[in-house]
Structure 1
Amino acid sequence: MQKKLTYAIRNLMAAAVVTGSAFAAHAADGTINFTGEILDSACTVDTSTATQTVNLGKIPKSAFTGVGQVAAATRFSIVLNNCPAAVTSASVKFDGTADAIDSDILALSSDQTAQGVGVALYEEDGVTPVPLATQSKSLTLDTSSAGSPAVAANSNTMTFVAKYKATKATVVAGTANATSDFTITYQ
């Protein structure tokens, strides 16, 4: 009996040691401080660019000779007005339905008949991609007239390029429209 009791106590203690180590508290490995500022107001997006249609034109499917080929480079802009002195720069994040093959570009809207192509977005240089859900490069803002009603409101233009981009070796002809929302982030 004594032997059974000793054996049971030893097993119970071993289980407690193993279980206790699984729940032991660990010291913090580091600290993250979150900083920011809530602004009274930010820039206003010019109404002519808040909602716009960018016409990529009619492109022959022969323009796409393979996956990754691009065509129909078209510039478009987002204009920010009345930027307060509290902000010094801004960047844009484009969101929308990502292409199933290339998640960095916009998928065509579901009612479109073209296939094997999406809409890619680029910085003003037309070379540097702006992947979906990623901030563009920052633009230094002109806030020189902020708070001065006698001076015309400042205006800042952020320019981008949209292109069709082949996601398959064979592109099927048809309508090829896509939609993106955008969000401005101020620094």
Structure 2
Amino acid sequence: MNAKLTTLAIIAALFSVSSYASDPVTINVTGKVVASPCTLDTANSTLDIDVGTKQTTDLAAAGAQLGGQAFNIALKDCPAGTTSVTATFTGTDDPSAAPGNGFKNAGTATNVTIQLKDGLAGGWNDPNYTIKTGRTWTKAVDTTTNAVSYYLAARAYTPTGSVAPGTVSASIVVDFTYQ
């Protein structure tokens, strides 16, 4: 009889445990489908730009420039479905230039700023066409060639004049995002 009571007690305990209701659990599944990247077309891109050489006497006045060299960054083999590419430019801003209108010279020449702009339009000081840190530029992919090109121009510029001899150098990073 004790064995039957013990068995009934265990069965009752099991039923009482399983009869408790629990809160529902929600499972969230997330992800992202992104456009495939294009390939840098090294044969049609210029990544080392030489703005030339000038005498310090030619760079004595504020606003004098060195260069104005056009160049191209080309992407190719963009997969079907990749319709546009956004380039984001990053570098160290030069505090002596108009705010955000020049990259700091990492070379030894003083009073020199490096500027980039849209190579096909606008003036060097037009904020609609100048390239600065954080600037984005979105271009459509040519669906016939599956390619896209960014035409740019670079120059060294002195906002203050009185340039001291030395080298001109800047590194500007371009990150591409594909849509």
Q: Assess same fold via TM > 0.5.
A: yes
* Alignment partner, residue 150 of structure 2: 158
TM-score (norm 1): 0.64
- Which string of whole-angstrom CA distances, capped at 9 and with x for unpartnered residues, describes residues 123-168 of structure 1? 02262211222113x32211336xxxxxxxx332211000111132
Shift of 1:80: 0.6
Q: Where does the alignment leave 5 or more consecutive residues of structure 2 unmatched? A: 1-31, 124-128
Amino acid in the other structure paired with 1:108: N
TM-score (norm 2): 0.67
* Alignment partner, residue 131 of structure 2: 130
* Alignment partner, residue 97 of structure 1: 92
- Which is greater in Rg? 2
Q: 1:81 aligns with which of 76, 80, 83?
A: 76
Q: How many residues align?
A: 140
Question: Aligned equivalents of 1:165 and 1:100: distance in 2?
Answer: 13
Mapped pair 1:173 → 2:174: no
Shift of 1:65: 5.1
Preserved contact between residue 122 and residue 162 of structure 1 (Cα < 8 Å): yes
Preserved contact between residue 99 and residue 108 of structure 1 (Cα < 8 Å): yes
Amino acid in the other structure paired with 1:93: T
2:57 is paired with a residue whose SS is helix
Shift of 1:48: 4.3
Q: Where does the alignment leave 5 or more consecutive residues of structure 1 unmatched? A: 1-36, 146-153
Question: Aligned equivalents of 1:51 and 1:160: distance in 2?
Answer: 10
Q: In 2 relative to 1, CA 40–105 (structure 1 residues): closer, same or farther, beyond 3 Å? A: same
Question: Aligned equivalents of 2:66 and 2:79: distance in 1?
Answer: 38
Identity %: 25
Q: 1:44 aligns with which of 30, 39, 47?
A: 39
**Over aligned residues, Cα RMSD in angstroms?**
2.4
Preserved contact between residue 82 and residue 143 of structure 1 (Cα < 8 Å): no
* Alignment partner, residue 186 of structure 1: 178
Q: In 2 relative to 1, CA 62–91 (structure 1 residues): closer, same or farther, beyond 3 Å? A: farther
